[in-house]
Amino acid sequence: MTFSELGLDDSILEALSYMGFEKATPIQEQAIPNILEGKDLLACAQTGTGKTAAFILPVLNQLANKDHKKIKALVVCPTRELAMQIEQQIQGFSYFLNVGSIAVYGGGDGKDFVQQRKAIERGTEVIVATPGKLISHLNMGYVDFSEIDYFILDEADRMLDMGFFDDIQTISSHIKNKHQTLLFSATMPPKIRKLSKAILNNPFEISIAISKPAEGVLQAAYLTYDSQKSALIRQLIKEKPTYESIIVFTSTKKKVGDIVRALKGQGYQVQAISSDLQQKEREDALRKFRSKETRVVVATDVLSRGIDIKGINLVINYDVPNDAEDYIHRIGRTARADSTGVALTLINQDDMPKFKKIEDLIESEVMKVPLPKELGEGPEWNPNYRGSRSGGRSNYKGKNSRRIGKKGSGKHSNSKNKSKRK
Ligand code: AMP
């Protein structure tokens, strides 16, 4: 279905055509007419489905050709990166419209807060905000939500995981006039059902096949001891000189630092992105990665959800994510739209049961590739592995077992080093 068949305003159609959007994606086909009809929406859809345009286009359509100068739509999302990205998309879609937007998030200096305050007081039509910073502004008393027509929650499951349930209720309680609420979530656990009961009114429901990695991602996995991982990622990156953009994901901030150190000095730019960085540093790092100045980024799951960077060739999971859905998000960073990409996961023994759960979720077995010879043998695949302390290493029979065994029980040993997940 084309966007003009969806009845969107000419100015929006023109912007879409400039952006190279030809056909609506399934979620856009389903969501846009229902939002235009005034319904609340509960949508189960992951990033990469085109969900941002699905909620923003009908909102912009209603705002087109009118002069409001009031806050008409509020988008709340979990991270500042996502807030910035959504706001940038809004700027693109509204290029030929007289609609203003601003991203409201924390982490900047005091000047940012003052600028955000000014924009809020001026009455910018669309606000994209993270919950905490929005509440800081709400508490100051100058936010006028009296004309809000659309309240949109994006990545709602992530926000609840981050402990924002009460904040969302607080924000919702500030919107007193009649409005439409649109809730987007990658998963539908009971807590999302609970939230949707509290804030949605007889919603139209859409579920876009989740839990399936994008087609076009070639997935493979290496069974490794922790002590082999640094050498393995060095080799994987070295072997692929034509890959311009590579992301290495890991679950903790500490490991981000370890991996960056392991990769430094290889003759290409490596950059860490985790919540340890100042906001400005994170923005700089993302900008350089987008512009291909930085070839390799090492990140925690800060980047795995929602961030849209074009042309990533390779995603390496240095460890298996704790949450099976995060695997799909992580590998979804590659092969966006119609392109192809490679996703490689390093699995130690402790992570094998977790990886099996991922395979169950995606309903397919990921190919286990042998380690390069010079790294020695890795562990055997044992999805029922019960932990190193129960003697599970005994199935390791590689000729370098003593050497690797010693290193493996040292500082990189995963089982001893499970610091809190970012
Ligand atoms: P999202 O799921 O909103 O994060 O979108 C994923 C990517 O798909 C973004 O780069 C969008 O710009 C792009 N996109 C969304 N809708 C379309 C469409 N109808 N045609 C082409 N690209 C699209």
CATH number at 237 reads 3.40.50.300
pLDDT at 305: 64
Domain boundary among 208, 234, 253: 208
| Number of separate domains in the chain | 2
**SS3 of 63, please?**
helix
Q: Are both 163 and 237 inside the same structural domain? A: no
Q: Are both 185 and 225 inside the same structural domain? A: no
Q: Are both 161 and 121 inside the same structural domain? A: yes
pLDDT at 381: 95
Q: Are both 173 and 247 inside the same structural domain? A: no
Q: How far is CA 409 from CA 259, 263, 401, in A?
A: 18, 22, 12
- Run of H or E residues at 43: strand 41-44
- Which domain does 354 fall in, by range? 217-421
DSSP assignment of 389-420 equals GGTGGGG---TTHHHHHHHHTSTT-GGG--PP
Q: Is 227 in the pocket of ligand 1 (CB under 6 A)?
A: no
User: Torsions phi, psi of 334, nearest 5?
Assistant: -105, 170
CA distance 166 to 170: 6
Residue 100's beta-bridge partner residues?
none
Q: Are both 120 and 228 inside the same structural domain? A: no
pLDDT at 404: 29
pLDDT digits (tens, 9 = 90+) for 52-111: 999 999 999 999 977 778 999 999 999 998 999 999 999 999 999 999 999 999 877 778
pLDDT at 307: 65
12 C-alpha to center of ligand 1: Å? Answer: 15
Of the candidate ranges 55-59, 106-110, 124-128, 155-159, the one whose mean pLDDT is the lowest: 106-110
Domain boundary among 158, 181, 208: 208
pLDDT digits (tens, 9 = 90+) for 385-407: 987 654 333 333 333 333 323 33
pLDDT at 213: 65
Ligand 1 atom at minimal distance to the Cα of residue 46? 2
**SS3 of 222, please?**
strand
Q: Is 51 in the pocket of ligand 1 (CB under 6 A)?
A: yes
Q: Are both 267 and 402 inside the same structural domain? A: yes
Q: Is 94 in the pocket of ligand 1 (CB under 6 A)?
A: no
Q: Is 294 in the pocket of ligand 1 (CB under 6 A)?
A: no
Q: Are both 30 and 61 inside the same structural domain? A: yes
pLDDT digits (tens, 9 = 90+) for 231-276: 999 999 998 888 889 999 998 888 998 899 889 888 788 999 887 7
With beta carbons less than 8 A apart as the criterion, state whether 223 and 381 touch. yes
Query: Alpha helix locations (H) across 109-212?
Result: 110-122, 131-140, 156-161, 165-174, 190-199
Ligand 1 atom at minimal distance to the Cα of residue 310? 10
Nearest CA to ligand 1 atom 14: 50
Nearest CA to ligand 1 atom 13: 50
Q: Are both 167 and 111 inside the same structural domain? A: yes
What's CA 171's distance to the chain center, in Å? Answer: 23
22 C-alpha to center of ligand 1: Å? Answer: 11
CA distance 230 to 318: 9
Residue 297's beta-bridge partner residues?
247, 271
Q: Residue 318: pLDDT above 60?
A: yes
Q: Residue 413: pLDDT above 70?
A: no
Q: Are both 226 and 195 inside the same structural domain? A: no
237 C-alpha to center of ligand 1: Å? Answer: 28
289 C-alpha to center of ligand 1: Å? Answer: 19
The mean of the pLDDT values for the chain is 85
273 C-alpha to center of ligand 1: Å? Answer: 24
Q: What is the largest CA-CA distance in the chain?
A: 74
Nearest CA to ligand 1 atom 20: 21
pLDDT at 386: 83
The tally of CA atoms less than 13 A away on the side-chain side of residue 290 is 11
Domain boundary among 208, 234, 260: 208
Nearest CA to ligand 1 atom 11: 50
Q: Residue 185: pLDDT above 50?
A: yes
Q: Are both 40 and 164 inside the same structural domain? A: yes
CA distance 24 to 74: 23
With beta carbons less than 8 A apart as the criterion, state whether 130 and 77 touch. yes
